[in-house]
Structure 1
Amino acid sequence: MPHLTLEYSANLSDTLDPPALLAGINAELAASGHFAEPDIKSRATRLDDYLIGLHNNGRGFVHVRLAILSGRTPEVKKELSAAVLAALQAGVPAVDGMAIQLSAEIVDLDRPSYAKVVK
């Protein structure tokens, strides 16, 4: 915990560097003081099948879902969302003629039912 899932539209594949973007987000999360660095697990998924509004012409997106154990305050969740969004803004390059939507959401993992083992 936490688990971070980054999804991006395939039309950004030529300009986006997912490993670097994940590294930047993980660094922000580690710096937040809310997580131990080795506990941050992230992955990126390129979406080949997507639709933005009614067409994809000149449109792209990057969305991050950060799943954290329940019990954090709304203020902490807002802080984490802002940190993720700042890392996205820094790590997603602009593309001429394309509007790229960047978004982040924080979701709760049910603390009593979450299980983890480190081997």
Structure 2
Amino acid sequence: MPQITVDYSEGLADGFDRPAFARDLHTAVVEIAAAKPPACKTRFRRTEDITVGPETGGHALVHVHIAMLPGRTDETKARLTETVLELLRQYVKPSGDLLLHASAEVRDLDPSYRKFEGE
């Protein structure tokens, strides 16, 4: 916890500083949502094909999904998503004339969530 997934358009691969984004995002999650630093886990998934409305070209997407154990207020979640969007503005630089669509959400993990660490 938290489980962070970042889906991003293939066209952003060269203009998205993923390591720096993850580092600063983890710092924000610790400061805003009281997560423990070693618990922050982020995976990036490159998306090859996107469509925005009737358009198949000229757009790029980034969506950050943060799933956390229950207990954070709606205000805390909103503050965290706003911080995510600020970080995306800082670390995602689309090339050419791509129009960037960025979004983020924070949700509670389902009560069935379990994990283990080790071998």
What residue identity is the alignment partner of 2:46?
R
Q: Aligned equivalents of 2:89 and 2:39: distance in 1?
A: 24
Unaligned runs of 5+ in 2: none
What is the distance in 2 between the residues matched to 1:56 and 1:30?
37
TM-score (norm 1): 0.86
Q: 1:66 to 1:48 in 2, by over 3 A?
A: same
Aligned length: 118
Instruction: Return the letter of the residue paired with 1:79.
Output: R
Following superposition, the deviation at residue 98 of structure 1 comes to 1.8
How far the C-alpha of 1:90 sits from its partner, in A, is 1.1
Superposition pairs of residues 1-119 of structure 1, within 5 angstroms: 1-32=1-32, 34-110=34-110, 112-119=111-118
- TM-score w.r.t. length of structure 2: 0.86
CA RMSD of aligned residues (A): 1.7
Take 1:70 and 1:31, find their aligned partners in 2: how far apart are those partners?
17
Question: Which amino acid in structure 1 is aligned with residue 114 of structure 2?
Answer: A
CA contact (8 A) 1:3 1:66 kept: yes
CA deviation after TM superposition for structure 1 residue 33, in Å? 5.1
